[in-house]
């Protein structure tokens, strides 16, 4: 199949960018979206032109590296799918496809379609862990975890940190990412000791970089793992509780 | 032995922390919480205000006596109108918090979006018109409140205004077609605002329970329908001659 691409090209973080038109011809319809970009890049290479820079790694939907805005939709038209798992059969022959990088003040463009998502690392560093003495692995099933809590925690832990939630949000808010990272620990017994310090630290860090939630719900639809905005409510509740809690008696802060 | 920092007492200047409620409000989550709670107060006022004003359908004496009862709240125990003004003060405070939080969040979100936007026209999949236009419907309601106060509370925008004569004032103002149109537009904007707000406030304060989540939307629809239909019924009743002097 043949498609026409309109791709955002930008040589560096502080340079002006713009859209460049490419014709991608003879693309097999079982190619993934990233493989289509590979084919275009090989062609550019052959013509001694600079290939299009884009982030990618595992190409099986679990690493969170890939992700671009495809025709105004984060990760493209197929819901619950990362860009690497989107296939060209979702497009029609002769389609024009506009490809843009994630846009947010907290996600500056490095080059072309690659953005700097270090802000997410800062949020996780602030509290997305549990403090334990490391050594040999603990015995399995040593700590009983209620089944519903394990399930809910796993739903949150499905977050791959791709940044689609921020990219799709009209406010560039990172509430879905942060709430997923807060919730997958705060729902488990292992996360309880630092439950309230964690949520305050991570929310405060998040607000250094990203906007505030207006409950549009765009993030939930854009998320390749379909993580629910219910976790945002959980994060808000824990944050408010943490602020009102009498820390000494609760063994917190 | 070389000096190390281990065990050395840190001479950290202890900065007096701000009161916790200010610390809390300075965060975005705290502002949303304040917006939700002030929104609940304002919503409660809207419902009470409408319930009271629907007494206009019970006849002139009924609604005039209701207005007099509001001014006479507390009876002989307190100075006349004092409770009414206390309630108005509380309402103004809640409204100020609501607007301040809204404006500062709006400004923050604008900055968070960054300088370069998407070139493709945004395809919204989940966001509703109500959620996207909250700022505009809110501003519409603000301008409407200014008109509404000078129309039916202070009387500046109503040439036939007579203090305390509630029924006659309502009929006089809604006999003017442009005023009726203005009211209907403003109430529809208010309805959009209230619809998103009623659902959204549960998320903001973190009330989320799979058992009750489906009721959040139904509550939003119910409250919106009551406010829109109830408020629009009064000007239309005057226009169609159901309410007349």
Write down the pLDDT at residue B171: 94
Inter-chain touch B27–A69, beta carbons under 8 Å: no
Domains of chain A and any CATH numbers = 3-111 (3.10.20.30), 117-244 (1.10.1060.10)
Which parts of chain A sit beneath pLDDT 50? 253
For A13-74, the DSSP string reads TTS--EEEEEEE-S--TTSBHHHHHHHHHHHHHHTT-PPPP---S-SSSSS-----EETTEE
Interface check for B104 against chain A (CB to CB < 8 A): the answer is: no
pLDDT (tens digit, 9 = 90+) per residue, B158-176? 888 998 899 999 999 999 9
**pLDDT for the residue B222:** 97
Range of the domain at B44: 27-107+128-239
Q: Whole-angstrom Cα distance, residue A229 to residue A220?
A: 6
- Scored b (16 or more CB within 10 A) or e, B70-109 reads eeeeeeeeeeeeebeeeeeeebeebbebbeebbeebbebb
Instruction: Quote the pLDDT of residue B209.
Output: 87
* A96 interface with B at CB cutoff 8 Å: no
**pLDDT digit string, tens, across residues B68-89:** 999 999 888 999 999 999 999 9
Cα separation, A106 vs A155, in Å, equals 25
Other Cβ atoms closer than 10 A to A150: 13
Tell me if B132 and A72 make a contact (CB, 8 A cut-off): no
Q: How far is CA A26 from CA A5, A6, A88, A94, B145, in A?
A: 13, 17, 11, 11, 62
Whether B8 is covered by a domain: the verdict is: no
The pLDDT value given to residue B9: 44
| pLDDT per residue as tens digits for the range B128-152 | 999 999 999 999 999 999 999 999 9
For residue B23, the chain A residue with the least C-alpha distance is: A243
Min Cα distance A44 → chain B (Å) is 24
Structurally, chain B folds into a number of domains equal to 1
- Chain A closest CA to B128's CA: distance in Å? 7
pLDDT digits (tens, 9 = 90+) for B9-66: 444 444 567 888 888 999 999 999 999 999 999 999 999 999 999 999 999 999 999 9
Q: Let me know if residue B32 belongs to a domain.
A: yes
On whether residue B47 sits in a domain, the answer given is: yes
Q: Within a domain: residue B122?
A: no
Q: Is residue B134 part of a domain?
A: yes
Flag whether B178 is in a domain. yes
CB-based contact, A13 to chain B, within 8 Å:
no
Please give the distance of CA B205 from its chain centroid, rounded to a whole number: 17
Instruction: Considering only the beta carbons, identify the residue of A107, A204, A215 that sits closest to B203.
Output: A215
Most A CBs within 10 A among B125, B132, B195, B212, hence the mutation to make, goes to B125
Predicted local confidence at residue A49, as pLDDT: 95
| Contact residues on chain B for A106, CB-CB shorter than 8 A | 112
Question: Can you give the CATH number for the domain in which B144 is found?
Answer: 1.20.1300.10
The continuous run of DSSP H or E covering B2 comes out as none
Q: Specify the pLDDT at position B8.
A: 44
| CB proximity list for A225: less than 8 A, separation 6 or greater | A80, A158, A159, A160
CA distance B29 to A238: 11
Q: What span, in angstroms and rounded, lies between the C-alpha atoms of B18 and B116?
A: 36
pLDDT in tens, B202-235: 999 999 888 888 999 999 999 999 999 999 999 9
User: What ipTM was reported for this prediction?
Assistant: 0.89
* Per-residue pLDDT tens digits for A14-71: 999 999 999 999 999 999 999 999 999 999 999 999 999 999 999 999 999 999 999 9
Within 8 A of A243 by CB-CB distance, chain B residues are: 20, 23-24, 30
B206, B210, B216, best to mutate vs chain A, most A CBs in 10 Å:
B206
A103 touches B at CB < 8 Å: yes
Q: Residue B13 has what pLDDT? A: 47
pLDDT (0 to 100) of residue A137:
82
Assigned domain for B93 exists: yes
User: Looking at the DSSP assignment, which residues form a beta bridge with residue A20?
Assistant: A7
Give domain status of residue B222, yes or no.
yes
pLDDT at B155 (0 to 100): 87
Q: Are A108 and A13 in contact (CB under 8 A)?
A: yes
**Nearest CA distance, A193 vs chain B (angstrom):** 21
């Amino acid at each position: 199949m043949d498609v026409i691409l309109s791709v955002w090209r930008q040589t560096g973080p502080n340079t002006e960018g713009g859209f460049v038109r490419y014709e991608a011809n003879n693309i097999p319809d079982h190619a993934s979206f990233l493989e289509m970009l590979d084919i275009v890049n090989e062609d550019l290479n052959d013509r001694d032109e600079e290939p299009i820079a884009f982030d990618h790694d595992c190409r099986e939907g679990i690493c969170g590296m890939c992700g671009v805005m495809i025709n105004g939709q984060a990760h493209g038209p197929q819901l619950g799918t990362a860009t690497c798992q989107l296939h060209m059969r979702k497009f029609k022959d002769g389609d024009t496809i506009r490809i843009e990088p994630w846009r947010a003040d907290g996600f500056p463009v490095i080059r072309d379609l690659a953005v700097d998502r270090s802000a997410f690392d800062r949020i996780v560093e602030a509290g997305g862990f549990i403090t334990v003495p490391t050594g040999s692995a603990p015995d399995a099933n040593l700590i009983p975890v209620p089944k519903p809590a394990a399930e809910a925690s796993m739903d949150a832990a499905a977050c791959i940190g791709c940044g689609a939630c921020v990219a799709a949000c009209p406010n560039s808010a990172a509430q879905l990412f942060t709430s997923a990272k807060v919730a997958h620990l705060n729902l488990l017994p292992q996360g309880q000791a630092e439950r309230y310090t964690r949520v305050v630290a991570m929310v405060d860090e998040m607000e250094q970089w990203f906007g505030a939630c207006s409950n549009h719900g765009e993030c939930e639809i854009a998320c390749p793992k379909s993580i629910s905005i219910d976790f945002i409510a959980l994060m808000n509740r824990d944050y408010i509780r943490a602020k009102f809690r009498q820390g000494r008696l609760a063994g917190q802060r | 032995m070389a000096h190390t920092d281990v065990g050395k007492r840190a001479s950290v200047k202890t900065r007096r922390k701000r009161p916790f409620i200010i610390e809390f409000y300075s965060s975005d989550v705290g502002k949303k919480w304040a917006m939700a709670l002030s929104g609940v107060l304002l919503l409660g006022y809207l419902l009470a205000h409408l319930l009271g004003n629907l007494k206009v359908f019970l006849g002139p004496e009924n609604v005039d006596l209701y207005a007099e009862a509001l001014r006479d709240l507390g009876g002989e125990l307190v100075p006349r109108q004092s409770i009414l003004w206390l309630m108005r003060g509380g309402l103004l405070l809640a409204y100020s918090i609501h607007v301040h939080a809204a404006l500062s969040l709006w400004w923050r979100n604008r900055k968070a979006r960054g300088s370069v936007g998407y070139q493709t026209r945004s395809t919204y999949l989940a966001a509703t018109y109500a959620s996207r236009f909250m700022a505009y419907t809110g501003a519409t309601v603000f301008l409407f409140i200014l008109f509404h106060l000078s129309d039916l509370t202070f009387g500046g925008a109503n040439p036939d205004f007579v203090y305390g004569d509630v029924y006659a004032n309502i009929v006089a103002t809604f006999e003017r077609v442009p005023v009726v149109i203005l009211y209907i537009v403003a109430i529809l904007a208010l309805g959009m605002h209230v619809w998103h707000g009623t659902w959204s406030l549960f998320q903001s304060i973190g009330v989320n329970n799979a058992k009750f989540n489906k009721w959040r939307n139904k509550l939003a629809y119910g409250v919106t329908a009551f406010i829109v239909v109830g408020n629009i019924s009064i000007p239309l009743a005057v226009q169609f001659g159901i309410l007349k002097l």
